[in-house]
Amino acid sequence: MPASLREHRQQAAGPVATSSITSTIALIPVTLSERGFRAIEGARVPGLTRDILDHSMPVHSRMVHKRDKSGGLTETAVPYSPKGECIFITQRTTIGKCLMLALRKEPNVKVFFGHKLVACDLNAKTAAFECIARPRSQDITNLGLAEGMTADNPHAEGASSKRTTGFDFIIGADGAHSLLRQQIMRQSNMDYQQSYTDALWCDFYMPPDSDGHHRLDPAYLHLWPHKECVFIVSPDVNGSSRGGMVAPVAEFRRLIQHPEELETFFSHRYPGVVPNLMSVEAVKEQFLHREHLSLVSIRCGQFGFGDSCVLLGDSSHTMVPFYAMGMNTGLEDVRIFFEEFIDPAHRGASYNTFCPASVNQAYTEYRRPDVQAMTDIAAEHFDELKTGVPSKSSIPRKFFEWNLQKHAPALDFIPFYSRVVFGHERFLVVKRKDRYQKVLFNVFLSSLCLVGLLAMTVYAID
């Protein structure tokens, strides 16, 4: 079936020139785990998973950096899974390039860059795009993708034109600020909610050391937790690392007004980052010139409009990055939409449209409660990241679950994090099983206490 991909940005995989101290573009690294890879494998593109893995860093644990009571620096490793499972950290540009290379092999797909959706009549199935000619220096040839791609803009560099085209079905995967979602909201009674975390994210680039190696052990995701703040460092395949500073909005505003306090701020909250990973000058330069990203959660009441369109990924649900599940959940959207709804609908039936309205509605009703549950999970996880470790009250339960999963896997008593990140169950099912396991653990703990009290009573009587 012929298809076209229309991209608002001027480049094939988003901003490329980001791996430098002087870049003003902020990035949040992407984490891939089981749900994401299952979706990628479901695309049945030979070599696609391997290409992404070759440009990703496997991480098995988080390393928590703190200062002890005597002032010394401590490091505590917190594994992600008792079975040794890992997450893979990469960059959005890497995934974008791999996907574009895969599209080159699809003869029925055309790709257009610099096409911004400006209007869409979902009933008449027509869409209007503003087409902006891009500079040759930003062309897809930068990524080695020119062959098979279509610029489709005969105008001079910087010139723009408007083009209207008909469509059978539109898939909106255009992110948290989705233009297609705005069109749906104008033409239907769509419930929509967005909420902001009282924090901002600032991205820092850390170059390799003089030998081209990572400045921190690349087998870990490194955390510096401090009350309402956290600094997260993830490794990249080229020996560099990216750091994400998360702090309250008021703290950002204060530091913007008084950048001379950044050295003290980092020394107090993120000990060892300066000067071991970055100089004071690099911290000031990047903090003052990089984007400061808002952390927003978005929930939508519907994911499509009749038989005209569907929203997938961040366009239909946006979550804060603290559980590193945004990309995985979006990829899982694609898999579920096609494998569980579109493919079965066309199997043994004949439709005059790609996605019947009933199928679209069924997908929304099935998927919406799951992604909203995951959005809540991501927001709640911020509290754990700010301490770096599970709360003291949850440590006995975690110890109990880890040992059961490791030594008695048939009992299906799996830690919550492992179910979310390394499993494939619906997020609603994950939350339900977690509540059930919590009840069982409390019963087990109460029974132990009761047995202990009885034993003490018997001993006292004797």
Per mean pLDDT, which range of 153-167, 238-252, 293-307 is the poorest?
153-167
CA distance 412 to 404: 8
| 348: pLDDT strictly greater than 70 | no
CA 303 to chain CA mean position, Å: 19
- pLDDT at position 23 is 60
| 149: pLDDT strictly greater than 50 | no
In three-state secondary structure terms, 97 is helix
Residue 155: pLDDT band by 50, 70, 90 thresholds? Answer: very low
CA distance 106 to 244: 37
| 18: pLDDT strictly greater than 60 | no
| 255: pLDDT strictly greater than 50 | yes
Residues 6+ apart with CB under 8 A from 99: 48
- Higher pLDDT: 121 or 94? It is 121
Q: Is the dihedral of CA 379, 380, 381, 386 positive or negative?
A: positive
* Identity of residue 306: G
Residue 457: pLDDT band by 50, 70, 90 thresholds? Answer: confident
Q: At what angle do helices 357-385 and 326-336 cross, to 10 degrees?
A: 160
- pLDDT at position 68 is 87
> Is 327 within 8 Å of 176 (Cβ atoms)?
no
According to DSSP, the residues that pair with 153 across neighbouring strands are none
Tokens linked to 302: 């519907």
- pLDDT at position 389 is 62
CA 427 to chain CA mean position, Å: 15
* Identity of residue 326: G
CA distance 42 to 34: 12
Query: Which secondary-structure segment (H or E) carries 131?
Result: strand 126-132
Q: Encode pLDDT of 43-93 as tens digits.
A: 999 999 999 999 999 999 999 999 888 888 999 999 999 888 999 999 888
CA distance 281 to 279: 5
| 398: pLDDT strictly greater than 70 | yes
CA distance 417 to 80: 8
The model's pTM:
0.89
Q: What are phi and psi of 241, to 5 degrees?
A: -140, 160
- pLDDT at position 159 is 59
Tokens linked to 422: 């390394």
CA distance 347 to 350: 8
Nearest-10 Cα torsion for 373, 79, 237, 232: 60
Instruction: Identify the DSSP state of 72.
Output: -
Residue 451: pLDDT band by 50, 70, 90 thresholds? Answer: confident
Query: Which secondary-structure segment (H or E) carries 433?
Result: helix 427-461
Q: If we measure between CA atoms, which residue out of 287, 272, 158 comes closest to residue 224?
A: 272
Per mean pLDDT, which range of 29-33, 102-106, 210-214 is the poorest?
102-106
Per mean pLDDT, which range of 135-144, 291-300, 341-350, 365-374 is the poorest?
135-144
CA distance 93 to 56: 12
The mean pLDDT value for 340-360 works out to: 85
| 393: pLDDT strictly greater than 80 | no
- pLDDT at position 440 is 87
Rg of the Cα atoms in the chain:
25
- pLDDT at position 58 is 97
Tokens linked to 430: 């994950």
Q: Encode pLDDT of 312-325 as tens digits.
A: 999 999 999 999 99
| 140: pLDDT strictly greater than 80 | no
Query: Which DSSP string corresponds to 85-154?
Result: --EEEE-HHHHHHHHHHHHTT-TTEEEEESEEEEEEETTTTEEEEEEEPPPGGGSGGGGT--TT------
In three-state secondary structure terms, 52 is helix
Mean predicted lDDT score pLDDT of the chain: 87
Q: Encode pLDDT of 175-192 as tens digits.
A: 999 999 999 999 999 999
Q: At what angle do helices 262-269 and 249-257 cross, to 10 degrees?
A: 140
Residue 459: pLDDT band by 50, 70, 90 thresholds? Answer: low
> Is 205 within 8 Å of 242 (Cβ atoms)?
yes
- pLDDT at position 139 is 41
Cα end-to-end span (Å), the chain: 83
According to DSSP, the residues that pair with 64 across neighbouring strands are 76, 223
| 251: pLDDT strictly greater than 80 | yes
